[in-house]
Amino acid sequence: MSIKSFLIGSPIETVKEQHERLNKTMGLAVFSSDALSSVAYGPEEILLALMLGGTALLHFSVPIAIGIVVLIAIVATSYFQTVHAYPSGGGAYIVAKENLGTYPGLVAGSALLIDYVLTVAVSISSGIAALTSAFPATRPYTVTMCLIAIVLIMLINLRGVREAGTIFSIPVYIFIGSILVLIAASSTKYLSLPRPYFEHMHGTAGSVFSLFIILRAFASGCATLTGIEAVSNGVKAFRQPEAKNAGITLTWMAVILGIMTIGIAFFADHYHILPNNNETVLSQLAKTVFSKGPIYYTIQFSTTLILILAANTSFADFPRLSSIMSLDRFLPRQLSNRGDKLVFSNGILILGVLSILLIVIFRGDTHSLIPLYAVGVFTAFTLSQAGMVKHWLAGKEEGWLKGIIINGIGTATTAVVLLIIAVEKFTHGAWIVLIAIPGLVYLTTRMHAHYLAVAEQLTVCLTKDDTFKHHSVVIPVSGVQMAVLNAIKYGKALSDDVAAVYICLDPVETEKVRAKWDKQCMGIPLVVLESPYRSIIEPLVDYIEEVRSEFPEGVITVVLPEFVPSRWWHHLLHNQTALLIKSILLFKKGVVSTSVPFHLTK
């Protein structure tokens, strides 16, 4: 068994692709883990922002949470429309591109790709933060644990969609159950536990800038909405009927997310829980209600797992979206290729590498990553909803007026939120994303222009002059041996104009080669080129250019004699001159290089 087979399993036949699709239960685990996990840090980010105004503003956390839940309902309803209008998947990118134009589509697609990378970094760092809250001694190893978690999720996703869904379902449902138990237990103890008293402060900077702080808290809490669009991007991953199953999964996700967001925000406010660097708000709430017992540790471990596995939403959607953009020639074509397990392996690997870089740069600090987080997703939200409004206006199919109202409200709401986030979070790191999005759009347009240019040049154009006027064969040799003799036989089969070229580095050795050549050269002339600076490549290229100038309408084939060692490590003991020659000749017009291998047995 190879290492690859051990890590990702045996290949899956293409005809079995339908069997790899997800039912609604697995779909919720795969595509909703990002959104559902955000309750572990969304309410905390609200409180963290409100603390700038002192305890006098902390009571705004619940109204802000309610506003965010209303926003969740609006966005989820809008994406429900999108799922049924565009069942082929692609989400915001496809909707914006088909209705608003190429550039809005690229902005939406680029924003989502960037957001997916950030999702992995934020989710993993938040999960490890939950673990270090329960076990403070592990805090110095935060970055290492983050990197290990990313690699593990990457390997699980490389094993296939259905296998990833099976593995991730249990932790996701344990988390949902544990949070609902926490909310239920908090409700029963609502009147029995005392509330800590906080003296309200007046005349502070928080009072003067209260509106500014409330808007910042709302912008921070909007990180809760990240991941809602995931279902619309992965419609084709569901079993038939895809759109119906995806829509039901989206509804489940929105309802559960709304209940958990309001529940945690309300009881965190009720018990006056404040965020701190050593323990998360969710951990403090669970400890307040259950103390440090089995239920507390179950909540902490399930939170850690869901936050880490929330990255799986990105690993499910980033490769799918990048493959769609790749098929449209806006990203490298390799991203549209499926691997052995019918997943887009290249996209998974790229996402893993980029996420690891972010974790290392920001040292796994969740609060440093959060400000970068919501700009991209709300950009995509806004463009997607605006595209759906155009879709309903253009088609005017059944229910178009209701669709315009729903998506119109969604457009206006998400646009306002995007503006708030961009302004409030600009100096805290959002400027990076605001620069990165147009930067990625520029790169995609350049790639698209390249692919169009390639297609234009590769288009078959029939001409009368469809043959080469002359065919020259050049064989670089290092001496007289079996690999060279094999190359000469092959060269003579190609053309009558064959010449062997030897680079003179040592006059004595050159004379020895000349003497042997006259006996075994099989009638092929040996051209000896002087190299006063001991370069092999430069004299050879100059000679090829001379032949090229002599026959400008001809073609030159450079035949490279190569012996193939019997062991892989034997390659390390020999010069790779042939490889270097091939890499240089690849850029020479009218020159073809080919290798004639001679396989060694010992």
The answer to the question of residue 15 being in a domain is no
Q: How far apart are CA 540 and CA 537, in angstroms?
A: 5
Residues 524, 437 share a domain:
no
Phi-psi region of 239 (alpha: psi -120 to 50; beta: other; left: phi over 0): beta
Residue 261 near residue 69, CB atoms below 8 Å? yes
Residue 317 near residue 338, CB atoms below 8 Å? no
Q: Which of 179, 189, 184 is nearest to 260 (CA)?
A: 179
- The CATH number given to whatever domain includes residue 45 is 1.20.1740.10
Q: Which DSSP letter does residue 495 get?
A: -
In terms of residue numbers, what domain contains 511?
471-599
What strand order describes the sheet that includes 497-504?
Answer: 526-530, 497-504, 471-477, 555-564, 591-599
Residues 361, 217 share a domain:
yes
Angle between helices 91-100 and 61-85 (to 10 degrees): 70
Query: What pLDDT score was predicted for residue 256?
Result: 94
Amino acid in position 296: Y
- The CATH number given to whatever domain includes residue 533 is 3.40.50.620
Residue ranges in the chain modelled with pLDDT below 50: 200-208
Amino acid in position 592: V
Q: How many domains does the chain have?
A: 2
Here the tokens at position 458 are 């590769």
Cα torsion for 224, 228, 230, 236, to the nearest 10°? 160
The angle formed by the CA atoms of residues 30, 262 and 406, to the nearest 5 degrees, is 70
Here the tokens at position 408 are 């119109």
Residue 280 near residue 307, CB atoms below 8 Å? no
pLDDT digits (tens, 9 = 90+) for 301-358: 888 788 777 788 888 889 989 999 999 999 999 998 877 666 788 999 999 999 999 8
The answer to the question of residue 465 being in a domain is no
Residues 490, 441 share a domain:
no
Residues 534, 398 share a domain:
no
Residues 357, 250 share a domain:
yes
The answer to the question of residue 175 being in a domain is yes
The answer to the question of residue 36 being in a domain is yes
Q: Which of 460, 543, 470 is nearest to 502 (CA)?
A: 543
pLDDT digits (tens, 9 = 90+) for 502-551: 999 888 888 888 888 877 766 789 999 998 888 888 999 999 999 999 99
Judging by beta carbons within 10 Å of its beta carbon (0-12, 13-18, 19+), is residue 148 exposed, middle or buried? middle
Residues 478, 441 share a domain:
no
418, 451, 484: which is the final residue of a domain?
A: 451
Residues 183, 249 share a domain:
yes
Residues 476, 366 share a domain:
no
Residues 146, 27 share a domain:
yes
Distant-in-sequence, close-in-space partners of 519: CB < 8 Å, separation ≥ 6:
none
First to last CA, the chain: 25
The answer to the question of residue 16 being in a domain is no
The angle formed by the CA atoms of residues 458, 459 and 462, to the nearest 5 degrees, is 115
Query: What pLDDT score was predicted for residue 248?
Result: 92
Query: What pLDDT score was predicted for residue 383?
Result: 92
Distant-in-sequence, close-in-space partners of 236: CB < 8 Å, separation ≥ 6:
88, 89, 242, 320
Residues 438, 482 share a domain:
no
Q: How far apart are CA 424 and CA 431, in angstroms?
A: 11
Residue 424 CA, distance from chain mean position: 27
What sign does the CA torsion over 404, 382, 32, 83 have?
A: positive
Residue 60 near residue 214, CB atoms below 8 Å? yes
The angle formed by the CA atoms of residues 540, 541 and 547, to the nearest 5 degrees, is 90
Judging by beta carbons within 10 Å of its beta carbon (0-12, 13-18, 19+), is residue 249 exposed, middle or buried? buried
pTM for this entry:
0.76
Residues 588, 475 share a domain:
yes
Residues 389, 319 share a domain:
yes
The answer to the question of residue 516 being in a domain is yes
Residue 34 near residue 314, CB atoms below 8 Å? yes
Query: What pLDDT score was predicted for residue 90?
Result: 67
Q: Which DSSP letter does residue 195 get?
A: P
Here the tokens at position 428 are 């805290």
Q: Which of 484, 526, 523, 522 is nearest to 504 (CA)?
A: 526
The answer to the question of residue 459 being in a domain is no
The answer to the question of residue 60 being in a domain is yes
